[in-house]
Amino acid sequence: MSWSSNPHSDRPGTVRRTIVPTADGAAVEVIDQTRLPHQLVMVRLQTLEQAAAAIQDMVVRGAPLIGVTAAYAMWLGLRTGGTDDVAIQGMRARLLATRPTAVNLRWALDQVIAAIMPLAPDQRAAAARRRADALVAEDVAICAAIGKHGLPILRAAFHAAGEDRPVQVLTHCNAGFLAAIEWGTALAPIYRARDEGIPVHVWVDETRPRNQGGALTAWEMAQAGIPHTVIADNAGGHLMQRGKVDLCLVGSDRTTARGDVCNKIGTYLKALAARAHGVPFYVGLPGPTIDFDVGDGLAEIPIEERQGAEVRRARGRLVAATGSDEAGLATVELLPPSTPVFNPAFDVTPAALVTALITERGVCAATREALAALYPDRAGRGR
Ligand code: MRU
């Protein structure tokens, strides 16, 4: 199986989206992101519970993809479980509990529920499926627009650097197509830059403990032929200090009404280093990650705490095959099981450290006023 970023490619064995409804109309298939970069494998999800487990165990991850998967999960739940109001609230609660920080999850569930509640119970499953399909199309359009709006930033950085070397971008975690459906959020401008012939080199933070940078972003960059280098999470400050980073570009799992950005743990440290060294710090985000009900991100966003085993262990391909599973992948213990660890999955970067937000509606300052001006249809309802 191989990846194709060509949306018109239907070659057998080619994957071009992270989630695809199956031809038999009974399930969706998703890329198993726990097996990348070593294997590109699709797994079938045909019940709400399978989809919920896939979100929780990070077979699928990334704010937009979590939301879309949850939308299809509602469809699967309505197909195979009850369709009455009580059953629907139960499904919502089960899915909401999977990952508490990325607000797209709640947003997508609310979209589906708003579409199905006015309908007779026997029409709800089909309507949920239609809404989930629509969310896929919306996400693709949103991410494409983020790329379009972010492109001038990379073009300007290329000019500012003298046009004789690639723009040096540092990114954290994975905010590429694997976090969405196509394009991605923060990485969308980089794909656009590639298409425009603007040379970019990406410093990819490894992003411990789950290595979304090393395992996913680097894989994406390799598929797209974009020059990149994986660095240990601790290397970013050193690179910025030596003038090796022109700008930082990261995603967001929840952006508050005043522009605070909650993203993968470690993002905040990069923003601090960027501020100290005068490196612009940009955040690419789709509108659905803006939570206009939240103002102070530090006080109000629930930070997911994941299993300590993610810190104690690492997973990869064994150099010698002994002890590995059928794919040659193995989990190794870095620390004794008794070692106390703490594993917060996200942190909050205050708006004051953010140079600008790149959204599907344009680029704006990370302020309450600027966000309200871009999203007048949504901002009025929050604080
Ligand atoms: O824990 P993950 O892998 O789901 O975290 C993903 C991120 O932090 C991404 O940066 C984020 O979802 C950006 S894509 C809008």
Q: What is the pLDDT of residue 81?
A: 82
| Average pLDDT across the chain, whole number | 94
- Is the CB–ligand 1 distance for residue 64 below 6 Å? yes
Q: Is the pLDDT of residue 307 over 90?
A: yes
For 167, list phi and psi in degrees, rounded to 5.
Answer: -70, 130
Which of 139, 233, 246, 253 is catalytic? The answer is 253
Helices and strands: H and E segment counts in the chain: 13, 18
Q: Which of 167-176 are b and which e, b meaning 16 or more Cβ less than 10 Å from the residue's Cβ?
A: bbbbbbbbbb
Q: What is the pLDDT of residue 319?
A: 77
| Omega prior to 350 cis, within 30 of 0 | no
For the question of whether the overall pTM of this predicted structure is more than 0.85, the answer is yes
Region 300-306: mean pLDDT is: 96
Q: What is the pLDDT of residue 7?
A: 44
Q: Is residue 11 within 8 Å of residue 4, measured between CB atoms?
A: yes
Atom number of ligand 1 nearest to Cα 346: 8
Q: Is residue 189 within 8 Å of residue 147, measured between CB atoms?
A: yes
DSSP state of 12: T
How far, in Å, is the centroid of ligand 1 from the Cα of 124?
Answer: 30
For 12, list phi and psi in degrees, rounded to 5.
Answer: -60, 140
Which residue owns the Cα nearest ligand 1 atom 8? Answer: 264
- Is the CB–ligand 1 distance for residue 179 below 6 Å? yes
- Is the CB–ligand 1 distance for residue 264 below 6 Å? yes
Atom number of ligand 1 nearest to Cα 251: 13
Q: What is the pLDDT of residue 323?
A: 61
Would you call 253 a catalytic residue per the annotation? Answer: yes
Band (139; pLDDT cuts 50, 70, 90): very high
The interaxial angle of helices 63-80 and 104-116, nearest 10 deg, is 40
Q: How many CB atoms lie within 10 A of CB 196?
A: 11
For 202, list phi and psi in degrees, rounded to 5.
Answer: -110, 120
Give CA separation, 365 vs 89, 160, 282, 351, 376, in Å.
37, 21, 10, 9, 15
Q: What is the pLDDT of residue 15?
A: 77
- Is the CB–ligand 1 distance for residue 253 below 6 Å? yes
Nearest of 294, 297, 290, 267 to residue 364 by alpha carbon: 290
Q: Which of 21-33 are b and which e, b meaning 16 or more Cβ less than 10 Å from the residue's Cβ?
A: beeeeebbbbbbb
How far, in Å, is the centroid of ligand 1 from the Cα of 177?
Answer: 11
Computed from CA positions of residues 223, 227, 229, 230, in that sequence, does the dihedral angle turn out positive or negative? negative
- Is the CB–ligand 1 distance for residue 345 below 6 Å? yes
Q: Is residue 370 within 8 Å of residue 259, measured between CB atoms?
A: yes
Tens of pLDDT, residue by residue over 154-213, are 999 999 999 999 999 999 999 999 999 999 999 999 999 999 999 999 999 999 999 999
How far, in Å, is the centroid of ligand 1 from the Cα of 91?
Answer: 23
- Is the CB–ligand 1 distance for residue 62 below 6 Å? yes
Tens of pLDDT, residue by residue over 12-42, are 566 789 999 999 999 999 999 999 999 999 9
How far, in Å, is the centroid of ligand 1 from the Cα of 376?
Answer: 26
Q: Which token pair is 74?
A: 């509602």
How far, in Å, is the centroid of ligand 1 from the Cα of 213?
Answer: 10
